[in-house]
Amino acid sequence: MGVAAPVDAKTEELRLRTIAEMREFVQPHRGWQAAFDAEIASSLEENSFPRLPTFDSRTRSSVMPPARPRTTAAPSAALLALLQAMARERLLMHVHGKM
């Protein structure tokens, strides 16, 4: 994914801050997709969306997993926009690869 050249000092500062935030946001995970998935799951759970039960093979029943703790702060608007753009691009690449 290409990033446009900065227009002015303020834009450059925002770009550098977003890149630093991306590194910090992704660090506890296996990549940007895992970090974004964890953020979406945390956000849903914080807003009362129920977690999906998992199957326990020992008891042969469904159990509700514990709430996932947030590993990072919620992303800034700039980082969220970047993550959304990366997710859209990934989806488009997947769709075009299947055709």
Phi-psi region of 17 (alpha: psi -120 to 50; beta: other; left: phi over 0): alpha
Q: Evaluate if residue 2 carries a pLDDT over 70.
A: no
pLDDT band at 3 (very low <50, low <70, confident <90, very high): low
Give the position of tokens 């992704």.
Answer: 26
**pLDDT over 90, % of the chain:** 35
What's the full length of the chain, in residues?
99
56 bridge partner residues: 61
Q: Evaluate if residue 1 carries a pLDDT over 60.
A: no
- Kindly report whether the global pTM for this prediction surpasses the value 0.75: no
Two tokens, residue 67: 């709430």
